[in-house]
Each structure stands twice: as C-alpha cells, then as structure tokens.
Structure 1
Amino acid sequence: MSGAGIEGARERRVVSGGVELCVAELGEAGRPVVVLVHGYPDSKEVWSEVARRLAGRFHVVLYDVRGHGRSSAPRPLRGGFTLEKLTDDFLAVAGAVSPHAPVHLVGHDWGSVQGWEFATARRTEGRVASFTSISGPSLDHLGLWLRRRAARPTPRAVAQLLGQGRRSWYVSALHLPRLPEAAWRGPLGRRWPALLERLERLPADGYPTASLPEDAAHGAWLYRDNVRARLRHPRRDAYAHAPVQLITPTGDPYLSERLYDDLEQWAPGLVRRTLRAKHWVPRHRPDQLAAWITEFVLNRQNDRENDRQAGRQHTRQGGRAAAARRPATAREAYAQRFAGQLVLVTGAAGGIGRATAFAFAEAGARVVVVDRDAEGAARTAELARLSGAAGAWAECVDVSDEQAMEKLADRVAAEYGVVDVLVNNAGIGLGGSFLDTSPEDWRRVLDVNLWGVIHGCRLFGRQMAERGQGGHIVNIASAAAFQPVRRLSAYGASKAAVLMLSQTLRAELAGQGIGVSAICPGVVNTGIVSTARFAGVPEEEQQRLRNRAARAYRLRNYPPEKVADAVLRTVLENRAVVPVTPEAHGALLLSRFAPRLLRALSRIEPRL
C-alpha cells in the first residue's frame, strides 16, 4: 500500500503507547536506515522530495508523529505529546525498521526538537548513529541559552533575547486554550497553503495534505506539553551521544542563528552548514538537503566501519561522545558550504574556468561546465567528476549568443535545478591601438566579455530571484577594470563595465539574498593570450605577438588555481570586489589613493 502523497512508499503500522503510527518506507532494506521526522504543522509528506532523492542510497523511513497525518492521536490529548512519549514512539519505529543497527536521524522544526531529545537522552544511546538538525533547537539548550543571557543582560544579550522573543510570538498564542484549535479548523487551516505560497514561495504541489487542520490542532499540544516545562527545568546533561550536523537556513523568520552560538559544548565536533533559505527547507531545497544528508551519513558509516575494523569502540568522555570533526581547513569549509550545490561556470574548457570548476568539484558541488569548445568542456566535466563532484555535465554554448543562453538556462533548470552559484568567466583578449581597433573588433570583445556576463546574470539571476532562496553570482572582471593600460582600450572597457555591472547588481539583488561579486585577477598563467587578437596587426604578426605574450605570462607563472580559490572564498564570505594577484591589489589601492600616479603609469608602452 502506498504512503499518502509519497509515490512508491511501502506502509506499515507501528503501535506505541496505545497510539498507532503510520510509517512509510522507501529504498531497499539492508541499506543504512535514515529516519526523517517532520515538524509542526506538517505531516511526513513534507519530506517527500528529500526522501525520493535519498532512496537510491538508503533505506528511508518517514512516520507521521502521533496525532498527525495518518497516525492516531492519544486520548486524552493533554499530556499525550510529551518528549518522553515522543521518544517512546521513535524507539518503537526504530526497533521495527532497524532492530539490530542504529539509525541515522534527520529532523526539521519540531522533528528537530524531538531529534535533540532522541540524540541526548540516555535511553536512546546506541540507537542513533547520527543526527541532522534543521530549524529546531533542543528545548534544554534553549532554556540554558535564555538563562545565560538573562543572568548577564549585556546590550548584545538583551538584543538577542528581544530578537528571538519577537520571532517566537506564536509560541504564546499556541498556549491559549481552544483558540488555536478553532483557528486551524477554521479560517487559518483553509488559508494556510496560500499563506505558505505567498510567504515562503512554496508551490501548491500536494503539500500540505488535507489532514493539515487536524494535524495543526493536535500539534498545539507539542508546545503546551513541553515548552514551559523544559524552559523552566532544562536538563544540564543534554550532551549528544551521536555525531550532529546542524543545517541553519539564514532566512528563517522563526529562529535566530544566534540560538546555536553555544552548541559546540553540547555536540563536540559539530558540523555546521548554512543555507540561504527560509524555514521550510525540505520543500525549498530538497537537492541540497539530500546531498548534505548523504555525505554526512556516509562519512559516519565509514567512521563506524573503520572503528569496527580497528577493533575500537567510541567511548563517552565526561558525559560527551566522540562526534564528527569540526572543520579545520578551507577545503572542509568549502565542502560544508558547497557540497551538493549546483554551480555553473562559463569559459570552463581551460584556464581560470577549468580551475574553478575543479575547485567546486573538490568541494562536492554539482558542476555545469559551459564553453564553446565542446571537447574542452567535456574534458573538464570528466575531470571534475574524478575530482569529487556530486555530478558534472558539459554544455557547448557561445555565451555571446542570447538565444543559445536562454535555451541553456531553461535546460539547466529543467534537468539539474536552479543554479546556486553562477561564475561568468568566459572572456577573450584584444590588444592594439584604439585607432586601429575596428567596430567589428569592439563588437567581438563586448559580445563575449560584457554581453556574455549580462546574459548569464539576467537569465540565471532571474531564476535565483524567482526561487526566492538566494544564490551567488561571480563575474570575472580584471585588474584592467581599474588599471588603465595602453593598447587595451577595448578589453579594459569591457572589464570596467563588468565591474560596474557587478556592483550595481550587488546593490539591486541584495534584498533577495543574491550576492554578486567581481573577481579581478591580474596577470595569470592561462591560455587567454593564445587566442587573443591584436588590432591593426597583419595576420602573419598575430601569432608572434601571441607567443611573446604567452612567454611573459609563463614567466609570471601565477596559477589559475589561486584565482579559483579566491572565487570560492569570495562566495563563502560574500565579498564585493576581490583583486587576486599582487599587481591587482596594488593597482586597486593606487586607483583609490593615488589615481594620478596610476594614470602616469598607464602611459608606459606595454612590451607586446
């Protein structure tokens, strides 16, 4: 029998404390078990898209929390939703689906609140292999967080208390007698899908289910049975006995990021990830969640297997268990930020574009490689897959072709999803005297260097904005954008336009959570000069000048991998304008503090 709203799911019933729980399963038995626990006012169907993506690697289990979906409600309701009884339910489900091995737990909203209980209670120790927490704190940790700030009411502490109080207004409303039930069974229940669509931009695609009004009415007792009691008397030994991954949506209107500031003391080795999204992440970003859950679960499985083979046992120390390592390197930070994200890089058949595609691939991203060189793009995609990409695909497109770019944007969205990070890297070189530069030369360099960037920003930026969950656009400009150079009038003008476009777009798109950055490399050892043209120079002289320029770039020998690292670091830190090479840093400083000196230097004849 199929689970409601979850195509292909197998369904069973598990009894716990007189309550019948509806449990749905996907994927093959015998694989690691991942249990997904929903929040309020949801049912298990909130996880349908994530579950479908996980089912190829895991035995995925979803269950309706008591009183929700197709699970029965306790009688009486009062006292029937305590964390102790919810823990009984979890142990019953885990025992039914995985009697001989611990399960990997994932919780969202109140599912995460429950998950913290399951991952810290002594009686569940050994039943939880890992815990992924999304948008739901431990009530014990929250109670102690509130007490610490109330005990030392510094301006910052008071601001944090007031800020979270403002976000949590609905908690008090749910403690009112009968009114929440009447609202959910009346107008609020009818309007909730439309409210979600408007406030969170969630499409009406079968979620929430028809049981929502009753689910929400019953779920009010989650708050009444637990919140006040735990905040008044929080447990002081609520240490995690399993590795914990925390996924924090930065746009969550209900929970402040500051709630998790002290979390490492409760979960040593905590793995933190942030996501530009609102509260209902399982519906907004199922691809990203599935990728992070997969990576975390597989790493924990490998850790357990390594320990088993070495004959070691994880032992508790001071009431705390060994958990996942805290990220200590830039590479680990990149993996936490970009694993599973969709990244599109133009001009990626070689040079900076190829190095950037590899860098994102090593961080576990899914990479779309775009270049008009089909063979070079295919080679980059192949090497990206070997570098660790969660997926890599090649697309042969000329970025200056508007219609081709529109088709690319539609194809990428349909096949892979909305791009999370766009890197507009494609560019060509053009040197020579301004008076010798023909209109055709100008059109060629502007079509690729400027219009290619405009097409990318317009098409993929619109998709990011319509999704409503942010993103990042990186435009590769040049030190020539702020450093005038003789005989680079067309190239410099195109890159200066990219720089200004980036800064204006950054201001315009900031309110939609979309970062825009301009990377300004200097002289980098890439193949751009091997295809550059020199205006006013006979054809027989073109190759000689290219070879001379290429020799100069090789002597400088600044690797494109350093530019790629700057790209990832820039997205991670959301920086605006980033010079890369020492000469680019110097030129940017001179442009701001000594522009007359920079203009004087620009009169020097380049040796090309």
Structure 2
Amino acid sequence: MSENPAVRRRTVHSAGIDLAVFEQGDPEAPTVLLVHGYPDTHRVWDDVAAELAADHHVVRYDVRGAGESSVPTSRAEYRLPLLAADLFAVADAVSPDRPVHVVAHDWGSLQSWEAVTEPGAERRLASYTTMSGPCLDHMGHWIRHRMRRPTPRHLRQLLVQSAHSWYIAAFHLPFLAPATWRLGLARAWPRVLRDLEAVRPRAGHPQRTLRQDAVRGIELYRANMRPTLRNPRERPTEVPVQLITLRRDRYVSAFLSEGLERWVPSLTRRELNATHWSALLEQGPVVAQMVREFTARIDSGGEPSGAAQQLVVITGAGSGIGRATALAFGEQGATVVVCDLDQEAAERTAELVTLVGGVGHAYRVDVSDGAAVDDFARQVAAAHGVPDVLVNNAGIGHSGTFLQTSEKEWQRVLDVNLWGVIHGCRAFGALMVERDQGGHIVNLASAAAYLPSKVLAAYATSKAAVLMLSDCLRAELADSGIGVSAICPGIVNTNITRTSTFSGLSATEQAAKQARAARLYARRGFPPEKVAAEIVRAVRTGKPVVPVTVEAKVARWVGRLAPGLLRRAARINAG
C-alpha cells in the first residue's frame, strides 16, 4: 500500500504484466491518468496528483518494469505497442464508461503518444497533455524533413538536439549504462537533480527502487528508438493535445514540436519556466492548474485553441507600431491590454483587437509617471492576470543637436523613451518573476540606438539606453525564464513624425519640419505592420536584438565592421 492513506492501490493485468495502479479522488469525477517517465515511478506525480485530486479522479501507475509493477522477460516486451496497450488496460479498468484525460512526462509521453495516435483513440481518451516527450514517429519525420532540406537553421537544430540526446547513444552501449547506474549514478541521483535540475531534496524522491528501475528502463530506449526513428509511420490523432514546453529542458528542445499541427489538428501550446524534472517536483501545482484548465475546457465542450491564449500588454498602442502589434497578437486570439495617453485612440485599438479575433482592453496611462505605471500594472494583474508578454512601445521623436536641445526637451525625451521603458519593465517584470511561469518583454529601441547623428542627440541617447537596458535585463531575467528583446526599427511610416519636436524652431517652422518628415517617411513606405510581425516573431524565437528595415540592418553591420564610417556620417545634417 502507498504511504498516503488517501491513495487506493489495485492491480491491472495487461499482456502478461501486472501493473501497480494508484487512485485518488472521487471516482465519479473526471478521470486523469498520469504516466511517468524514466527513471521514475508514479511517485514523481505526487504533487500534481494531490492538487488534481480535489476535483478529479486521479490515476497513476508504475509502467512495466518500474516500481511495484512486474518485469518483462525480454526486450521485445518493452515495445511501444505493448506500452500503449498497458495505458488502455488501465483506462478500461479505472474508467470503463467514460474517456480519460491522459497527462504524461518524458518516456511516459513517448508511450502515451503511441496510444493517442492509435486509430479511434479519441473514443477512449478525452485529451492528452504532454511534457518533454515527442512522438517517436513524429520525430522521425521531423528528422527526415531537415535532412531533405539542410538549411543552416535545420542543420543547427539537428546538431543541438543531437547534443541534448547524447545519453540515448550511451544507453545503446552493451554494458556502460547499466554499470553506471549500478556503480554510483543511482546513489548520486539526488545531487544530480539538485545541481542540474534545481530540485530540492525531499523524502520519497527519488524512489527506493531507482537503481533497478533505471537499469531495466534502459530497454525502453533499446527496444524503440532506432526501429521507430528509422521507419516512422504516419501517426495523426483526433485527440485534443496540450503541449507544455519546458523552457529550461536540457534534453528536449522546443523546436522538436515544429510542424506538430500536421499530426494534431487540435493542438494547444503552453510554456512553463521549468527544467525537465522541476516541472513535476517543484512546480506540481502549476502543472496541475494547466491540466485543470485544459480538461475543464474539453469537458465543457469547448474547442481547444490553436495556441494557449496569451495576455499581452502594449504601451503607446493608440496608433502606429503599438496598434499594429496589438492587432497582430489579437489575430492570434490573445487578450491584449493596451494603454496610451489618448484614451479614445486606445479604446479604438481595443475594439479593433476584438474585431480581428482577440480580446481588447484599453487604459489611459502616462508611461513617464512611475506611480501611474505601477498602478496600471496592479489593475491589469487584478482584472486580467499577469501578462505573458509586455511590449514597451510608447515613445516620442525629437530632433536637435546637443547644444540646441534644452534641458526641458532632454527631460521630456528621457521621461518617455527611457523612463517609460524602465517603469514598464520594473512594474510588469516583477509580476512575471513572482508568477514564475516565464514570459517575454519587448522594448522598442531604434536604429538610432547604434546609428549616431549630431541632430538626434537626445533621441539617439534615449534609444541607446533602451538597447543597453534590454541587454542587462535579459541577463538578469534569464534564470526566471523571461526573455527580453530590443526591436530597432529604421524609417517606419507612423504618426511619430507628426508629433516629433525640433529644437530651436518656431511653431510655424516646427509644423513645416513635421510635414516634411511625414512625407519622407510616407515615401519610404515601410508599414508598422511589418515591425509588428517582427515583434511577434521575437517573442516566439527569443531573438535578443531585431533590426527592422534595410537601413537598420545595414547600419548595425557597418557599426560592427567599420564604426568609423558611422561616426563620419553622424556629422551630416540629417535632421
């Protein structure tokens, strides 16, 4: 019996194997079936199971050869079809009349994919949540596609994943892997989890049977990896799937799921700031909540979304790049909270977000006011939650040499362009860190950040500071799984030209300068929608610095290769 009296044990027979099955919660509630990986047992799910048992019938089992389940007599008995049959046998025993929700991790995911992609699986499996374990057939096709199209990106992906999967090759060596576990790795495993996986030592983990579980489980790799990857099958599924990508997984790269929609039409993608094992052993309640939200949507008849609904906050979104970015995220079904000094413009952006498929909310905020931004962050957190993405877009333009620019003008430019970004990063970044589920911060810099000009002293200084701030913040937030990107547009056709100010000019001269700048930017014809697309891509890929427009890209390369050219060009009266 389990040490926890709330857990009920039974035995399920499957293809000559006795499977130890453990149940918690109300048997009349929706059933969630948790499948563990290697070298674990059902105990790795303790925290997740305890949380879900409040409103689910939670079932775990030791897979064949692990824990309290019996041991196969040959390598062939570890093949994926038999592992899938075990899953169905447990599901039939614990929930004969209703489909079950499957949640799996590591090798549990690999064998669960085998069951999920069986024809007709949707009649027995209500949903599938997978972490850190691709379908081997899907992976085989993924490898073939990259071998047929050996682009630099595809080759890099193959090399990176090969480096992450070094242990698989080691597991195929006749004596080395079993001997390693027997002669010390099992004893050292708690330190490995602590030092490499950020898992604190705790009673019951790892399990007492770890050494024999690890040695026997090597047969999972030997029986399945090479045969399946060499001859991958077509394995689609109609089961709704939730893919939880672990940002700090040392073994399964996020890009392994690229193209998964080909096989899974009902796919929801989510991310968690966790290592391979800390997801279950340190963030069990968070995983349980993700599962709960997904199963509730399935049980209520709701359609799984193509991607988990993101909460995005964008400053200065009343027009231009900010509005275009709000619409780009809205088209993906995101909830987008926008703010601007112009309340009416912000509300129009929110309306447009809703029209394109998202959910929009508008606020009036002066980003130069730190207290106002702090209050805005508290309102957003209370009404909508902690954002997954923050885009610090609000900014103003100004032209003037250093000696022409007054102290008041310097203060205005720095208050909005630099302090506005600082206020946003501080207020929302703290919320993201406290939530501990990762996120992404996007700061709008400019090509002027690295392209000096004697007539853009204040503006270029503010944007250069934003670029450096982003680099510093990226280093600080990396361990929290929060990415930071600096976007550096060049000449983009937005209304910033109509509101830019110029030092030392009368009102009439200011208006004439604004009109000329607007005509120049309009002739350039680079739309804000293209900048928005780069912002969305930066959030997805985590790219740290993104020059946008040809002139921005050229200036960045020239600045690296021949910085003296940029310094000489800075003397030109370009304002």
TM-score (normalizing by structure 2): 0.68
2:115 corresponds to which residue? 118
Q: Name the structure 1 match of 2:85.
A: 87
The answer as to whether partners of 2:242 and 2:270 remain within 8 angstroms in 1 is no
Q: Which residue of 2 aligns with 1:343?
A: 312
Contact 1:139 1:234 in 2 (8 A): yes
Other-structure match for 1:442? 410
Once the two structures are superposed, the pairs formed by residues 151-550 of structure 1 within 5 Å of their partners are 164-166=165-167, 223=217, 226=220, 230=224, 240=235, 242=237, 247-255=244-252, 275=271, 277-280=274-277, 281=279, 283=283, 286=287, 339-389=308-358, 392-409=360-377, 412=380, 419-432=387-400, 434-461=402-429, 471-485=439-453, 487-506=455-474, 514-538=482-506, 545-547=513-515, 549-550=517-518
Deviation (angstroms), 1:212: 8.0
CA distance 1:343–1:444, shift in 2 (3 Å):
same
Decide whether the 8 Å contact of 2:118 with 2:237 is kept in 1.
no
Matching residue of 1:319: none
C-alpha deviation, 1:88, in angstroms: 4.0
Residues 457 and 365 (structure 1), Cα distance of their counterparts in 2 relative to 1, 3 Å cut: same
Q: Distance in 1 between matches of 2:181 and 2:440?
A: 45
Deviation of 1:142 after TM superposition, in Å, equals 9.4
Alignment CA distance shift 1:77-1:589 (3 Å): closer
Deviation at 1:603, TM superposition (A): 2.4
Q: Is the 8 A contact 1:13 1:22 kept in 2?
A: yes
Q: Secondary structure at the match of 1:348?
A: coil
Shift of 1:493: 1.9
Contact 2:36 2:108 (8 Å CA) reproduced: yes
Query: Are residues 594 and 125 of structure 1, via their aligned partners in 2, closer, same or farther at CA, if it must alter by over 3 Å?
Result: closer
User: Are residues 1:64 and 2:60 paired?
Assistant: yes
1:491 partner amino acid: Y
Structure 2 counterpart SS, 1:344: strand
Mapped partners of 2:327, 2:171: distance in 1: 46
SS at match of 2:573: coil
How big is the alpha-carbon RMSD for the aligned residues of Structure 1 and Structure 2?
A: 5.8
* Equivalent position amino acid for 1:240 in 2: R
Which amino acid is the alignment partner of residue 368 of structure 1?
Answer: V
Structure 2: which 5+ runs fail to align?
A: 144-156
- Partner Cα separation in structure 1 for residue 289 and residue 310 of structure 2: 6
Identity among equivalent pairs (%): 41
5+ residue gaps, structure 1, are 147-155, 304-331
Aligned to 2:148: none
1:519 Cα deviation from its structure 2 partner: 1.7
CA distance in 1, matches of 2:83, 2:351: 51
Could you tell me how far 1:449 is from its partner in structure 2?
0.5
Tell me how far apart the structure 1 counterparts of residues 200 and 362 of structure 2 sit (CA, whole Å): 30
Q: Report the counterpart of residue 23 of structure 2 in structure 1.
A: 22
2:200, 2:441 → 1: CA distance?
Answer: 25
Where 1:64 maps in the other structure, the secondary structure is strand
Q: 1:447 to 1:242 in 2, by over 3 A?
A: same
Amino acid at match of 2:165: Q
Structure 1 residue 481, shift from structure 2 partner: 2.5
- Relative distance call for 1:549 and 1:67 in structure 2 (3 A) is closer
1:311 aligns to what?
none
Contact 1:348–1:370 (CA under 8 A) maintained in structure 2: yes
Residue number in structure 2 paired with 1:109 = 106
Are the structure 2 counterparts of residues 123 and 443 from structure 1 closer, same or farther at C-alpha, using a change threshold of 3 Å?
closer
Label 1:86 to 1:483 Cα distance change in 2 as closer, same or farther (>3 A). Answer: closer
Q: Is the 8 A contact 2:137 2:232 kept in 1?
A: no
Q: How many residues align?
A: 536
Amino acid at match of 2:365: V
Instruction: Using structure 1 for the length normalisation, give the TM-score.
Output: 0.65
Structure 2 residue identity aligned to 1:493: T
Between the aligned partners of 2:292 and 2:552, the Cα distance in structure 1 is 37
CA distance in 2, matches of 1:295, 1:580: 41
State the SS of the aligned residue for 1:388.
Answer: coil
